[in-house]
Amino acid sequence: MKADYRQIAAEILDAIGGKDNVDKAAHCVTRLRLSLKDQSKVDEARVKEVDLVKGAFENSGVYQIVIGAGDVDRVYAEFIKLAGLEAATVAEVKSAGGKKMNPLQKLVKVFSDVFMPIIPAIIVAGLLMGINNLLASEGLFIEGKTLIEAYPNLQGLWDLINMMANTSFVFLPALVGWSATKRFGGSEVLGIVMGLLLVHPDLLNAWGYGTAALEGEVPTFDILGLFEIEKVGYQGQILPVLAAAYILSQIEMFLKKRVPNAIQLLVVPITTIVVTGFLALAIVGPITRGIGNVIATGLVNTFEAVPVVGALLFGLFYAPLVVTGMHHLFIAIDLQLIADTGGTFIWPMIALSNIAQGSAALAMFFVYKHNAKQKSMASTSAISAYFGITEPAMFGVNLPNKFPFYSAMIGSAIAAIFITLNDVQAIAIGVGGLPGFLSIFTDKILLFIVGMVIAIIVPFALTFILSKRYMKKGELEENKVA
């Protein structure tokens, strides 16, 4: 039966206090995100009873209603018509709700606002690198040979995929520069220029810099004979361009307020780029690169020293971090690890956590006996989680019943410990679910698949076992809504 999106939007609007209670509205892949004037006017029980709604919660001053991919776009289109609102971006809604946030929440919000728009490019690059990884892996399909060696005609295809895969990572600072400058209030095009400046071909990449440093021949810019700036690029680096984008935005906004309109186009862009570029290459870049190296080294050393504890904690608490929105911080950490060490051990654990949430939701499909809506929600949200989008599973099925969420946390922790002890790492960020094996180093793919099996079986079994106890006590969510 086709959903009546207008009716659904009307019921949601009525349950949250009417159109006069809505300040701004936006949506992401799965959720309506609303900035409300008075949170106390929301009837959350009524919101959750609306067709297609899988859950609702408040986070960082933003009221979020989980609907699901595809449907959320149509509900949103009807919602803003009924509410008499103009379409807004997620960043605008977060900004409206951001006044209620503490400093840590504001920091997380910055990372979320910067990285969410560029995630598609990162995931596409990760998948292509995974395919490239398979083509060039010796012995994976043919003993003692890569597919390219066995079938030379694949060389051209491999070269093309390799170029496509590397593009987002080679020019990652440009992507971050665009998104970060937009977030900080500057001109996006100047952010792109700044990002490209930091990966200019005249600057050494990480490999070239390492070789030059060992030989004591790092090239420099001689600035009027007063001091020198090393010609070092920041390919794949996150912190340097984030800091540079913030500085660029502040300088640009400062100048726009003071430079007459008649000469702004001539004065503001060139002054902004020259000053920011100088600061980025001379001061900001070296300092933030050092900070990034310390973070990456600290994480690596921690996981090497106490791998079981590190994996246990990450596997257990990643899903709760998703609930709070703090998981966006790990995108930057993953990218920093890839830039510094060539791989990341964090992203594989994230993929397994997503799979575990999907498995717990799938178990609930078999647990629910009489409620067709709950069965449908469990099955569709499980599929969504298996392909990296866990919010429908968590907020629609697992969290309301509690024990599936805990079961998924336990399964995720066990799987994380297993792959960490076996040094499973990803060459790139890919789809955080069942297709995740494509992004794993080929010699560790089988071990990662074992981790996937653990993340499927343990949460499924625990959820099914615990459901018997909850059904006896009448605490199953189905009993409350049937």
In tens, the pLDDT along 132-156 reads 777 777 777 787 788 888 888 888 8
Q: Where does the pLDDT of residue 105 fall: very low under 50, low under 70, confident under 90, or very high at 90 and above?
A: low
- Mean pLDDT to the nearest integer, 296-322: 85
Which segments of 316-369 are extended strands (E)?
A: none
- Mean pLDDT to the nearest integer, 334-350: 87
| N-term to C-term CA, the chain | 20
**Helix or strand or coil: residue 229?**
strand
Task: Return the pLDDT at 368.
Answer: 84
Q: Where does the pLDDT of residue 107 fall: very low under 50, low under 70, confident under 90, or very high at 90 and above?
A: confident
pLDDT over 50 (residue 120):
yes
Task: Return the pLDDT at 482.
Answer: 34
Task: Return the pLDDT at 469.
Answer: 77
Label residue 478 left, alpha or beta by phi (over 0 means left) and psi (-120 to 50 means alpha). alpha
CATH 1.10.645.10 fits 5-100, yes or no: no
Residue 262: exposure state from Cβ atoms within 10 A (0-12, 13-18, ≥19): exposed
pLDDT over 90 (residue 333):
no
280 vs 245: CA distance, rounded Å: 9
**pTM more than 0.75:** no
Neighbouring CB atoms inside 10 A of 291's CB total 14
Task: Return the pLDDT at 181.
Answer: 94
220 vs 170: CA distance, rounded Å: 22
- Mean pLDDT to the nearest integer, 325-346: 80
Q: Which of 212-216, 256-260, 366-370 has the lowest mean pLDDT?
A: 212-216
Q: Where does the pLDDT of residue 480 fall: very low under 50, low under 70, confident under 90, or very high at 90 and above?
A: very low
Task: Return the pLDDT at 279.
Answer: 95
In the chain, where the domains are located:
5-100, 101-199+234-294, 306-481
DSSP calls for 60-126: TTEEEEE--TTHHHHHHHHHHHHHT-----HHHHHHHHGGG--HHHHHHHHHHHHHGGGHHHHHHHH
Residue 124: exposure state from Cβ atoms within 10 A (0-12, 13-18, ≥19): middle
Query: CA triplet 438, 441, 442: central angle to 5 degrees?
Result: 75
Which of 237-246, 359-368, 448-457 has the highest average model confidence (pLDDT)?
448-457
Which amino acid does the sequence have at 466? L
Q: What are 368-380's pLDDT values in tens digits?
A: 876 777 888 888 8
Task: Return the pLDDT at 481.
Answer: 38
Percent of the chain exceeding pLDDT 90 equals: 32
Task: Return the pLDDT at 331.
Answer: 80
**Helix or strand or coil: residue 208?**
helix
Q: What is the mean pLDDT of the chain?
A: 85
pLDDT over 80 (residue 343):
yes
Q: What is the DSSP letter of 344?
A: B
Neighbouring CB atoms inside 10 A of 73's CB total 12
Percent of the chain exceeding pLDDT 70 equals: 91
* Active-site residue (options: 10, 17, 19, 28): 28
Which amino acid does the sequence have at 28? C
Q: Which two tokens stand for residue 341?
A: 């060490």
Query: CA triplet 331, 340, 284: central angle to 5 degrees?
Result: 80
Which amino acid does the sequence have at 40? S
388 vs 20: CA distance, rounded Å: 35
Spatial CA neighbour of 470 closest among 373, 380, 369, 388: 369
Between the alpha carbon of residue 249 and those of residues 190, 246, 259, 331, 471, the distances in Å are 9, 5, 15, 23, 56
DSSP calls for 261-327: HHHHHHHHHHHHHHHHHHHIIIIIHHHHHHHHHHHHHHHHHHHHHSHHHHHHHHHHHHHHHHHHTGG
> Could you tell me how far CA 277 lies from the centroid of its own chain?
28
Task: Return the pLDDT at 53.
Answer: 87
Query: Active site includes 28?
Result: yes
482 vs 464: CA distance, rounded Å: 19
> Could you tell me how far CA 138 lies from the centroid of its own chain?
31
415 vs 308: CA distance, rounded Å: 11
Task: Return the pLDDT at 472.
Answer: 60
